[in-house]
Amino acid sequence: MFTYSALVSSEGGDASFQNNVPDPATSGKELPTFKFELEKSEGRAIDGSYGKEATVAQLPISKGLAGVSMLMQPGVMRELHWHATAAEWAFVIEGQVRTTVIDPSGSSETNDFAPGDLWYFPRGHGHVIQTLGDKPCHFILVFDNGYFSEFGTFSITDWMGHAPQELLAKNFRLPASAFETIPKKEVYFAKGRVPPAFPPAPLQGWKPPPLTHKYSLLSQKPFEVFDGGVEWRADGSQFPISTTITGVVLDMEVGALRELHWHPNASEWQYVLSGDLRVTLFGSNGRWRQETLSKGDVGYIPQGFGHSIENVGSGRARILIVFNSGHYQTINLSQWIAGNSIDVLATNFGQDPALFERFPHEDVFMTR
């Protein structure tokens, strides 16, 4: 019997290119826009809390990753839910937030997060998000599926609110009357009291998982410091549970350039935390496109496409970059040049060999 197995990559990323069918979004005569003004979009707002998303519906080029900007007021929780088709990665921008997540073994973990912290929930794992304290919290969610919509999650009120009361009564061994007043439609943002400073124990008691869902990125020593900026990075080697997503924060000085490069194994999703950045995308056959991204804007680079990021503002800039692979890979243009001999370079470009003596003899990554 013939059995078909779909392509699966242990490193994540988009393996669909292996079918050799050109992507209509990027195979035209001109490259499409790769920018979306996320924070200027309408999204879904409820009493001062909101979720704003960037999926292929808003940014058609963004097939490998989707993102959400979410702000929640004090006492608000993003109700218990799960995602059937995407893992969730998050970066906290402002405020304090608490999550509880359960895995298929029945283990659950509750963590508190501050600005600069990350979480990762594998696909299908149930979770809840709560604002802590008396100030709003703001965080960015990224999903390893560009078609995933935050507004298509499986929510507990939507499920239980539409299930027959007799079914719920049998499931929980309670009288049907116990379910008469539960919400009859999805709540999405639930409003209640500010959670206690210390998380109370779950009904089943504490049963922690083998791998934590939390990583404090910006409190770590930077991954590397360059002439022009600083890089923080968290892939699966630093954050083992994050098997399908890598996160990077670049802090760039005025005039700094994240040099021309590409990622062999992942697409790239960008969110500007501060400043103004010029992103240049190269797509073969002489096609290229530049976009200027400002605070709150999103950019997207398809897997394998050449690109660069330059701080063109009057002050320092900071950008959040997320890849749909838990294994970080990059090839920088300076690195590629330095990996070849002068005679190869001179012949390739038809130039005097002396020119390439002046090129960097090592990987640059970031400069100014």
Active site residue 138: no
Active site residue 307: no
Closest CA to 82 of 131, 141, 123, 143: 123
- Tokens for 31? 């490259």
Using DSSP's 3-state secondary structure scheme, residue 156 falls into helix
Active site residue 127: yes
User: Catalytic one among 11, 53, 79, 83?
Assistant: 83
- Using CA atoms, how far apart are residues 69 and 321, in angstroms rounded to an integer? 14
Positive or negative, the Cα torsion across 251, 255, 259, 260?
positive
User: Catalytic one among 98, 125, 127, 213?
Assistant: 127
**How many residues in total does the chain contain?**
368
- Using CA atoms, how far apart are residues 224 and 182, in angstroms rounded to an integer? 51
Give the burial class of 315: count Cβ atoms within 10 A of its Cβ; 0-12 exposed, 13-18 middle, 19 or more buried.
exposed
User: Catalytic one among 11, 88, 109, 186?
Assistant: 88
Q: What is the largest CA-CA distance in the chain?
A: 87
- Using CA atoms, how far apart are residues 68 and 363, in angstroms rounded to an integer? 34
- Using CA atoms, how far apart are residues 325 and 268, in angstroms rounded to an integer? 10
User: Catalytic one among 53, 109, 150, 310?
Assistant: 150
Active site residue 83: yes
Closest CA to 87 of 54, 117, 124, 53: 124
- Using CA atoms, how far apart are residues 271 and 98, in angstroms rounded to an integer? 22
User: Catalytic one among 78, 98, 213, 307?
Assistant: 78
Catalytic residues: 78, 81, 83, 88, 127, 150
